[in-house]
Amino acid sequence: MASESYPPPFRSLNNSTQIVDSDEKANPVHDLEDPIPLVDLQSLKLGKQLGEACEQWGIFRLVNHGVPPTLLSQLQDHAETFFSLPFESKQSLITSPLSYFWGTPALTPTGAALYRKGTLENINLVEGFNVPIAQLNQFQADNHIVASLSLVLEEYGKHLARLATTIFEAMLKNLGLDPIESKSNLSNSTGSVRVYRYPRCSNSNSAWGLDVHTDSSVVSILIQDDVGGLEVLKDNDWFTVKPIPNTLIINLGDMMQAISDDKYKSVTHRVKVNKNKERISICYFVFPGEGSVIRSSKYKPFTYSDFQEQVQQDIKTVGYKVGLEKFKISEAV
């Protein structure tokens, strides 16, 4: 049965009321044709498209990115095949340095799932696995499905490292920051790919694949299948990020907001589940290098490790990521 591929708490989603109260009535979603700014990688040097997208939205759609469409479709196909395996098999096949998780997107530095304080009542409807790209050569896959997926992910990671570096350098130029001084604020050795599956849920109006959050990364690069469900917040309104083939979605994360002195936004977003179809998305996250200090007039100097440690503590104690607010310089005299 297909349901055996899901974590046990997900198996009755299509005939039961589920989990998180929706705020959709209080926060209606604008279903425009495609509100997300479009940025052409070949025109990044012109700067205007990129700057406006980063300042006003914190998210943009990238075209002419150079990632072969065949590689994107291969990645989606391999991910679907992997997720269709029995739940217990996935748990046993994904071993260190990779990690399998479900019910939460929050992971410890070792890749283990980090659940909120208290019970599992408010789990997110998501399962996935985390792949530190630089450590993939240490992973020995005995299963041919996982081995094939690993090879495709390794190739994909090379393309995404190129894109992350190119985009970051263009943002530094737009911000007038010294590229030499800021270079260590993005290190492709930290790049990781997370592959997510969101189950279909009959009561999709009151269930969330991922709760409202911002990414902790410098940038996050996303591909999504044709199902959709990603929503972003701008000026207190929610907008749907429509799935458009052969485009990539670039999210700015908390680290980029701090690096930019708050000129650029770490985009607030969430993922809604679908009542008819499951959804697969694949996201590449990249962070500052180890020991790289982020200096800003808005925040106390900190490293990503400092930030990550604070986030872990917040999730364990208050149940959610507080984020950059914990590092803000007080304006009180």
Is residue 60 in a domain?
yes
Q: Work out the average pLDDT over 268-277.
A: 93
Which position has the token pair 């001084």?
181
Closest CA to 109 of 185, 269, 259, 216: 216
* Backbone φ, ψ for residue 11 (5° rounding): -75, -15
Confidence check: pLDDT of 23 > 50: no
Query: 128 falls in which pLDDT band (50, 70, 90)?
Result: very high
Contacts of 85 (CB under 8 A, 6+ apart): 5, 93, 145
What whole-number percentage of the chain has pLDDT above 90?
Answer: 74
Confidence check: pLDDT of 329 > 70: yes
Is residue 15 in a domain?
no
Is residue 99 in a domain?
yes
Q: How far apart are CA 127 and CA 87, in angstroms?
A: 10
Confidence check: pLDDT of 137 > 70: yes
Total tally of structural domains belonging to the chain: 1
Is residue 318 in a domain?
no
Confidence check: pLDDT of 17 > 70: no
What whole-number percentage of the chain has pLDDT above 70?
Answer: 89
Confidence check: pLDDT of 20 > 80: no
If one compares 170 and 2, the residue with the highest pLDDT of the two is 170
Mean pLDDT of the chain: 89
pLDDT in tens, 196-233: 999 998 776 667 899 999 999 999 999 999 999 999 99
Is residue 11 in a domain?
no
If one compares 312 and 34, the residue with the highest pLDDT of the two is 312
Determine the pLDDT at residue 206: 65
Tell me how far CA of residue 80 lies from CA of 47, 188, 236, in angstroms.
37, 26, 34
Give me Rg for the CA atoms of the chain.
19
Query: 120 falls in which pLDDT band (50, 70, 90)?
Result: low
Which position has the token pair 């072969």?
68
Among 52-61, 104-113, 309-318, the range scoring the smallest mean pLDDT is 104-113
CATH of the domain at 90: 2.60.120.330
If one compares 126 and 116, the residue with the highest pLDDT of the two is 126
Neighbours of 256 (CB within 10 A): 29
Contacts of 84 (CB under 8 A, 6+ apart): 2, 5
Q: Work out the average pLDDT over 107-134.
A: 83
Q: Which domain does 224 fall in, by range?
A: 31-295
Give the dihedral of Cα atoms 179, 182, 187, 193; nearest 10 deg.
-90
Three-state helix/strand/coil letters over the chain: CHHHHCCHHHCCHHHCCCCCCCCCCCCCEECCCCCCCEEEHHHHHHCHHHHHHHHHCCEEEEECCCCCHHHHHHHHHHHHHHHCCCHHHHHHHCCCCCEEEECCCCECCCCCECCCCCCCCCCCCCEEEEEEHHHHHHCCCCCHHHHHHHHHHHHHHHHHHHHHHHHHHHHHHHHCCCHHHHHHHCEEEEEEEEEEEECCCCCHHHCEEEEEECCCCCEEEEEECCCCCEEEEECCEEEECCCCCCCEEEEECHHHHHHCCCCCCCCCEEEECCCCCCEEEEEEEEECCCCCEECCCCECCEEHHHHHHHHHHHHHHCCCCCHHHHHECCCCC
Q: How far apart are CA 230 and CA 203, in angstroms?
A: 17
Query: 46 falls in which pLDDT band (50, 70, 90)?
Result: low
Among 87-101, 109-123, 312-326, the range scoring the smallest mean pLDDT is 109-123
Q: Work out the average pLDDT over 139-153.
A: 93
Confidence check: pLDDT of 24 > 90: no
pTM of the predicted model as reported, rounded to 2 decimal places: 0.92
Confidence check: pLDDT of 108 > 80: yes
Determine the pLDDT at residue 226: 93
Which position has the token pair 């708490």?
9
Is residue 277 in a domain?
yes
Exposed/middle/buried for 221, CB within 10 Å: 0-12, 13-18, 19+? buried
Is residue 2 in a domain?
no
Determine the pLDDT at residue 115: 79
Determine the pLDDT at residue 47: 74
Confidence check: pLDDT of 246 > 70: yes
Determine the pLDDT at residue 301: 97
Is residue 20 in a domain?
no
